[in-house]
Structures are given as C-alpha cells and as structure tokens.
Amino acid sequence: MQDDLSAIATLADVSKRLGSTPVLDGFSLAIRAGEVTALLGPNGAGKTTTVGLLTGRLQPDAGTARLFGLDPGRPAARMRMGVMLQVSGLPDVLSVAEVVTLQSGYYADPRPVAETLDIAGLTDLAKRRCGTLSGGQARRVQYALAICGRPALLVLDEPTAAMDRASRHALWATVRHAADGGAAVLLTSHDLEEADALADRVLVMDHGRIVADDSPANLRARAGGSVIRCRTALAPALLQALPAVREAGSDGGDQHIVTADAVATVRVLYAADPTLSQLRIADAALEDAIATLLAPHRRNAA
C-alpha cells in the first residue's frame, strides 16, 4: 500500500486468524480524513475483523495497524475516535443527559452536553431514563456517545438500525456535516440506500479482500444502465444469455437482470417467454452494482 498522507487509520499487509480460520491475509486499506468510507460486503467477508483491527479491539497476527500514526490500542489514539457499535447497552436507570455527561467526562475537550444532545436529536429526551427508550431512540443516544468527544475518526456500525425514516435522514445530515468538517467516517451497513446517500467512497469486501474501491456513482455505472425484475419461466442460464445482460439471478420469487440496454433485453425476453409477468424496469442502484461484484452464492447475504 502506498503512503497516503491524508490517511488517519491504516492497515498494511495485515493477516488475522480467528481461531483456526484465516480472515485476512496480506490485507491493506487506508481511511482518509474528510471522507465517508462505507465498508460493505456479505456476512463473513471480514468487515467486523477489519473494524476491530482499526479500532484496537483486535491485534493483527502479522502486518501493521495504525490509528493517527499510533498502535490503535494506545489510549492517545483511542481518545480521538468515536465508535457506535451495532450492539451496545445503556444503563437503564440513568437519564439520557446523565449518560452523555458521563461519557463526555472521559475526553479532554468534549462538546457541551447540550450541543451533543442537539446534534443527536435528543434535546426533548434529555430527562428520559434510558430504560424507557425505544430502539431508535437508544440508537440516537449511542450516536451521541460516539460524537461527544469531537472525534477525528467516527466509526459507525449499522448506525440507523431501528430508526424511523425522519430520524435516519437527520442522522445522515449530521454524519455528512462531520465529514465536511474534516473528520474521517467509517460506516458499515447492510442498508445500501444509506451507503449510497452518505459515502464518498465504497469499499466492497469479499472473502477477506477488497473487490472494489470507488465512489457510489462509479460503482453504479459499472453495474450497467438498468435493472429488470420480473417473473419468468426461463432458466437463469438463458436469462444470462439475453442481449446486453451483465448479470442475472433470483431475488425471492422474482428474477433480476442487470442490463446495459433494457429495450434490447426486454424485446428478446418477451419473445422467449410469452408467460412473462410482473415486469419492472429501474435504473441500476448500488445494490445491483455490488451484486455484480460478489459470487452468486454470497449475494443474498450482502
């Protein structure tokens, strides 16, 4: 991996085994300041291990992990990082404001508690006990705990799980504001709409390696022009052989076909299967681009 002067978190030629299972082997990446990086891929691709190495919760078996130029386990490095894990408990008996105040006390220069509550959309819930919160409200508290120390690196693992649409979009805006202000953001999510909306850069992992590193727009362009979804009696191999088709597979009871020329594909598809039904055509999305990058037997886990 070449030196990247804007990188604040790096893995260089890292190998890691969990028990007897190799997860990463000679793996390298760099997370850059002022950028939202989405780390995507199927379950078991190595995303959790990668995040664990970058945040100091795991140590590499070989190679080098650095956070702000230091070992990620060093307190001086960890103090400049905020982490929102997918599974994280809150003390039931403390209020939202008390929990944020307690966490803020661990940092030398935290945000004012009122500011943190405002950013996370928690001002009206400040006096509520954490044990009475809904799942989405608890996720907002966990986000507040991640940002209260003014982190230079913000690590978000499925940040908007259990949130309603309005809360999701409000949190997206604050994440985007943090990156625009110079913070590095590392996002892992199964919500590809979220990754598409937020990320400057998408890293797609599979089997412990990076199979794509590009902007969402460039990845969408790689997928082709359109996605056809339909119900058809044609076998997948015949769908794959249709004109302009880049990728074809099943999606529940439907077939989905990624094509560079929807008109040419549909014309032949109709001729080949008069029983064709439930035909829908849409522009290719990030989900479709990632599907073309992953082996067919792993797509449903992405």
- Residues 265, 205, single domain; the answer is no
Average pLDDT over residues 45-73: 95
> What is the arithmetic mean of pLDDT over 67-77?
95
Mean pLDDT (whole number) for 167-186: 95
- For range 27-39, the mean pLDDT: 96
172, 278: one domain: no
Which pLDDT tens digit goes with each residue over 271-297? 999 999 999 998 888 887 887 777 554
Predicted confidence at residue 2, as pLDDT, reads 45
Q: Are residues 130 and 279 in the same domain?
A: no
Q: Are residues 24 and 115 located together in one domain of the fold? A: yes
Residues 192-227 have pLDDT tens digits of 889 999 999 999 999 999 999 999 988 887 766 788
> How many CB atoms sit inside 10 A of residue 165's CB?
8
Domain boundaries, position 143: 7-215
pLDDT value at residue 4: 62
229 and 194 part of one domain = no
Cβ 208 vs Cβ 27: under 8 Å? yes
216 token code pair: 């969402």
Residues 109 and 247 in one domain: no
Mark whether 234 and 169 lie in a shared domain. no
Do both 173 and 253 map to the same domain? no
CA contacts within 13 A on the Cβ side of 134: 10
Name the phi and psi angles at 135, rounded to 5.
-60, -45
Same domain, 55 and 182: yes
| DSSP codes, 48-107 | HHHHHHHTTSS--SEEEEEETTB-TTSHHHHTTEEEE-SS----TTSBHHHHHHHHHTTS
Burial of 232 (0-12, 13-18, 19+ CB in 10 A): buried
Q: What integer best gives the mean pLDDT of the chain?
A: 91
Say if residue 31 is in the same domain as residue 126.
yes
pLDDT of residue 296: 53
